[in-house]
């Protein structure tokens, strides 16, 4: 293989783009040629035409074939407009109707290969002969998978052309080997690490061409490990070469920023436990992935490290070293919480142990359930309704139910009953609204024949992934906003209204309605009240209640196909937009300001150090939060450069996880650097930060998000 030049590949990936987005043109050709066929068959031919028709672009410094640049071609705007009109007759699913945010069963796919999947389809076709609906789906799956095989062979031909055009022997050999590899995996199951990585990458590219976003790579260090270990043993691969191979693939995830202006959150999970017995699954390839993302130093992939009580200390330390570069990932996920949280939802323990993450932090049973969806549940709004008899403090409109005027609540328990009643109605409205959006009456004409090939047991059942083919039904995550805003507000109410009787609840409501104008002294007292994140039981017990109450509410609901509603304590920057919907709150927060971020303490309010913050954060029972949480912490860079300090931080993280913490992600960029980047963005084009469940270039973020990151407590 030719000498690896990652910097040169990065320059090619970031090179300006020419042409128009041409995918609708290719799809339309397939639809037009098969307009008289059943919908699912026409869809399959559109996918096949798309896979075959686009340009197979290979960079000069590519180690593995596959690029999204073929999405763009020299087509006219009129041609694209006409093609979109044709495609509109075949509407696609979206995020809330289970289109993407999916983790494929790559382990099964690599074991079978494209040819094996085609054999499986043929076996099901024989079994369901006479069942028109199932055979139509299976024929469509075969057409789409054959198209994927042609896509892989197309890259083989493109690699041959690169070899023919090469001006030196090393390049000719390199591209010839790439061509041979693509030719092999176009039908055969992969035999080597590079075969397997090539097929996985081209699958990701095919999903991208279908228009799917946030398609997870899943437990890459597990399903690629047998190939990796075999090649190491026979001397055809070294760990350094495998690291370079991974880096060359990961770098191309950054194509999406060049092409469409935003990063993909294609999650990779490493570490964790083995599905069969729960023993440690960390291996040498886990470390190669860490080294590869460090080499790339770009916001994607969205790397997640699964940590458990028996995780080797060397692995956690290697994770912290990468975090300490400023990347902000891997995010650290606690298997000892996530596995029981998923098992509570009715999945087999073996499948729960094999979970991955999709998108930001969402727990997912890879290859066994339909694509993920979630939404924002703005919990602080319902606190506001309880304080104001169902009415908004911002505009006075009644959006909640009447639970009584504030001074009618003689005790804290009475007020909590009113708050719970508002939440109960809010949860029902949320579920009813999502179920209406999620339900597709004409599901037979919204099938996904290619995606279904990567999900158990769609081919065996002869049923599409979203029509009951998957082993498990859909799951949806309701992301509860503002745990600290709510906990701090309830602690202030208990302390100042019911314990110390500094004011009445009605007087507090009036101060909130005025956004504290004329109430400076009261606001100071509210800010001084107990705050979540300082190991203070008065505030922390309300964070415990926050999780319990919402888990109880959503546990009773089901998705349209009978799946579960998870809750998440995460925000993905939505704490900013959620805050715009909420008036002033009893914690001292001003009207319209961001609510607290995800599961973290309110920015700047965790004043007692990281240990106290960890003690607060692990008090809620997160085995009731099957979707996952996000806890953002910020440490100064010197915490990571010193092995002794890093070891102490690792010990704090282990203790936090042993006590029930679910997730942790860390920024290690100083406030001074972030402030300077705001003033001189041209000097910080490559500055990466952890936002909330994903990393991003800091200078590309909205100013409100930059300020939200800046306001986080900085630990030393």
pLDDT in tens, 157-197: 999 999 999 999 999 999 999 999 999 999 999 999 999 99
The end-to-end CA distance of the chain, in Å, is 45
Q: Is the residue at 655 inside a domain?
A: no
Tens digit of each residue's pLDDT (9 = 90 or more) over 56-86 = 999 999 999 999 999 899 999 999 999 999 9
Q: Identify the pLDDT of residue 610.
A: 84
Q: What is the mean pLDDT of residues 362-370?
A: 98
Does 714 score more than 70 pLDDT? no
| Dist. CA 64–CA 513, nearest whole Å | 60
Q: Is the residue at 706 inside a domain?
A: no
Domain boundary (188, 215, 242) is at 215
Tens digit of each residue's pLDDT (9 = 90 or more) over 197-220 = 999 999 999 999 999 999 999 999
Q: Which one is predicted more confidently, 256 or 106?
A: 106
**Sign, CA torsion 651/656/658/661:** negative
- Kindly report the number of other CB atoms within 10 A of residue 165's CB atom: 11
Tens digit of each residue's pLDDT (9 = 90 or more) over 444-503 = 999 999 999 999 999 999 999 999 999 999 999 999 999 999 999 999 999 999 999 999
The structure tokens listed for 224 are 């690629």
Hunting for tokens 């340009």 — which residue is that? 55
Q: Identify the pLDDT of residue 565.
A: 98
Q: What is the mean pLDDT of residues 509-520?
A: 98
Contact between residue 253 and residue 287 where contact means Cβ atoms under 8 Å apart = no
Does 398 score more than 70 pLDDT? yes
Which own/partner contact pairs does 551-556 have at CB distance under 8 Å and 24+ positions apart? Answer: 551/624, 551/625, 553/423, 553/424, 553/427, 554/427, 554/431, 554/478
Does 257 score more than 70 pLDDT? yes
Domain boundary (187, 215, 243) is at 215
Q: Which one is predicted more confidently, 670 or 499?
A: 499
Q: Smallest Cα–Cα separation from 692: which of 653, 605, 634?
A: 634
| Dist. CA 118–CA 112, nearest whole Å | 9
Tens digit of each residue's pLDDT (9 = 90 or more) over 138-151 = 999 999 999 999 99
In the structure, what pLDDT confidence band is assigned to residue 618 with cuts at 50, 70 and 90? very high
Helix (H, G, I), strand (E, B) or coil at 296: helix
In the structure, what pLDDT confidence band is assigned to residue 716 with cuts at 50, 70 and 90? low
| Dist. CA 502–CA 490, nearest whole Å | 15
Q: Identify the pLDDT of residue 97.
A: 97
- Kindly report the number of other CB atoms within 10 A of residue 700's CB atom: 16
In the structure, what pLDDT confidence band is assigned to residue 2 with cuts at 50, 70 and 90? low
Q: Is the residue at 325 inside a domain?
A: no
| Dist. CA 716–CA 709, nearest whole Å | 17
Q: Smallest Cα–Cα separation from 457: which of 351, 556, 549?
A: 351
Q: Is the residue at 525 inside a domain?
A: yes
Q: What is the mean pLDDT of residues 563-572?
A: 93
Q: Identify the pLDDT of residue 173.
A: 96
Does 686 score more than 90 pLDDT? no
Q: Identify the pLDDT of residue 702.
A: 84
DSSP codes joined into one string, 22-41: -HHHHHHHHHHHTTTS-HHH
Q: What is the mean pLDDT of the chain?
A: 94
Q: Is the residue at 672 inside a domain?
A: no
Q: Identify the pLDDT of residue 689.
A: 75
Q: What is the mean pLDDT of residues 532-550?
A: 97
Q: Is the residue at 461 inside a domain?
A: yes
Q: Is the residue at 689 inside a domain?
A: no
- Give the ranges where 71-129 is alpha helix by DSSP (H): 77-87, 106-127
Q: Identify the pLDDT of residue 677.
A: 85
The structure tokens listed for 445 are 């004409």
Contact between residue 62 and residue 178 where contact means Cβ atoms under 8 Å apart = yes
Write out the H or E segment, with its range, that includes residue 318: helix 313-322
Domain boundary (160, 191, 215) is at 215
Q: In the chain, what is the greatest distance between 2 CA atoms, to the nearest angstrom?
A: 86
Q: What is the mean pLDDT of residues 585-601?
A: 96
Q: Is the residue at 540 inside a domain?
A: yes
Residue range of the domain that includes 185: 1-215
Q: What is the mean pLDDT of residues 422-445?
A: 97
Structurally, how many domains does the chain consist of? 2
Q: Which one is predicted more confidently, 18 or 22?
A: 22
């Amino acid at each position: 293989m030719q000498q690896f030049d990652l910097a040169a590949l990065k320059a090619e990936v970031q090179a300006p783009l020419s042409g128009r987005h041409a995918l609708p043109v290719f799809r339309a050709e397939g639809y037009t040629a098969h307009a008289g066929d059943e919908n699912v068959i026409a869809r399959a031919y559109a996918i096949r035409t798309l896979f075959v028709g686009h340009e197979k672009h290979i960079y000069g410094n590519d180690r593995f074939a596959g690029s999204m640049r073929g999405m763009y071609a020299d087509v006219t705007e009129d041609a694209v407009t006409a093609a979109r009109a044709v495609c509109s007759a075949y509407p696609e699913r979206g995020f809330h109707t289970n289109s993407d945010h999916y983790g494929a069963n790559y382990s099964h796919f690599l074991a079978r290969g494209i040819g094996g999947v085609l054999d499986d389809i043929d076996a099901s076709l024989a079994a369901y002969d006479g069942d028109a609906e199932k055979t139509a789906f299976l024929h469509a799956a075969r057409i789409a998978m054959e198209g994927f095989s042609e896509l892989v062979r197309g890259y083989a031909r493109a690699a041959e052309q690169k070899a023919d055009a090469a001006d030196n022997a090393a390049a000719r050999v390199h591209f010839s080997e790439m061509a041979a590899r693509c030719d092999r995996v176009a039908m055969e199951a992969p035999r080597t690490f590079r075969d397997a990585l090539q097929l996985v990458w081209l699958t990701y590219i095919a999903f991208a061409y279908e228009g799917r976003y946030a398609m997870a790579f899943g437990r890459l260090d597990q399903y690629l490990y047998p190939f990796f270990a075999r090649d190491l043993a026979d001397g055809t691969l070294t760990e350094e070469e495998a690291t370079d191979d991974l880096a060359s693939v990961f770098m191309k995830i950054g194509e999406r920023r060049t092409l469409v202006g935003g990063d993909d959150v294609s999650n990779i999970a490493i570490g964790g436990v083995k599905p069969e017995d729960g023993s440690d699954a960390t291996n040498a390839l886990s470390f190669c992935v860490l080294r590869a993302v460090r080499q790339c130093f770009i916001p994607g992939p969205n790397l997640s490290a699964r940590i458990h009580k028996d995780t080797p200390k060397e692995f956690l330390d290697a994770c912290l070293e990468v975090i300490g570069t400023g990347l902000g990932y891997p995010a650290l996920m606690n298997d000892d919480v996530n596995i029981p949280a998923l098992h509570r939802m009715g999945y087999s323990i073996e499948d729960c142990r094999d979970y991955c993450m999709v998108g930001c932090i969402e727990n997912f049973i890879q290859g066994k359930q339909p694509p993920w969806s979630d939404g924002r549940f703005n919990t602080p709004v319902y606190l506001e309704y309880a304080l104001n008899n169902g009415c908004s403090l911002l505009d006075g409109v009644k959006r909640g139910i009447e639970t009584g005027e504030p001074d009618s609540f003689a005790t804290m328990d009475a007020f909590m009953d009113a708050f719970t009643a508002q939440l109960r109605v809010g949860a029902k409205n949320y579920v009813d609204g999502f179920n209406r959006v999620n339900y597709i009456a004409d599901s037979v004409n919204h099938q996904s024949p290619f995606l279904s090939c990567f999900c158990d047991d769609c081919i065996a059942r002869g049923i599409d992934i979203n029509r009951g083919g998957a082993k498990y039904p859909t799951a949806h995550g309701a992301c509860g906003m503002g745990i600290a805003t709510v906990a701090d507000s309830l602690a202030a109410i208990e302390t100042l209204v019911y314990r110390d009787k500094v004011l009445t609840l009605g007087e507090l409501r009036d101060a909130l309605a005025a956004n504290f104008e004329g109430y400076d002294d009261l606001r100071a007292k509210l800010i001084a009240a107990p705050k979540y994140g300082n190991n203070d039981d008065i505030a922390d017990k309300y964070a415990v209640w926050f999780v319990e109450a919402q888990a109880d509410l959503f546990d009773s609901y089901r998705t349209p196909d009978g799946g579960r509603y998870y809750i998440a304590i995460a925000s993905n920057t939505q704490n900013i937009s959620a805050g715009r919907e909420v008036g002033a709150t009893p914690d001292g927060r001003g009207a319209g300001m961001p609510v607290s971020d995800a599961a973290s303490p309110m920015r700047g309010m965790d004043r007692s150090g990281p240990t106290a913050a960890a003690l607060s954060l692990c008090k809620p029972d997160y085995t009731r939060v099957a979707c996952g949480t996000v806890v953002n912490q910020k440490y100064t860079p010197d915490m990571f450069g010193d092995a002794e300090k890093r070891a102490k931080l690792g010990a704090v993280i282990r203790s936090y996880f042993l006590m029930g913490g679910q997730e942790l992600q860390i920024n290690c960029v100083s406030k001074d650097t972030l402030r300077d980047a705001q003033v001189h963005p041209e000097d910080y084009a490559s500055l990466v930060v952890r936002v909330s469940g994903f990393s991003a270039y800091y200078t590309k973020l909205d100013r409100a998000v930059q300020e939200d990151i800046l306001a986080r407590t900085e630990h030393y």
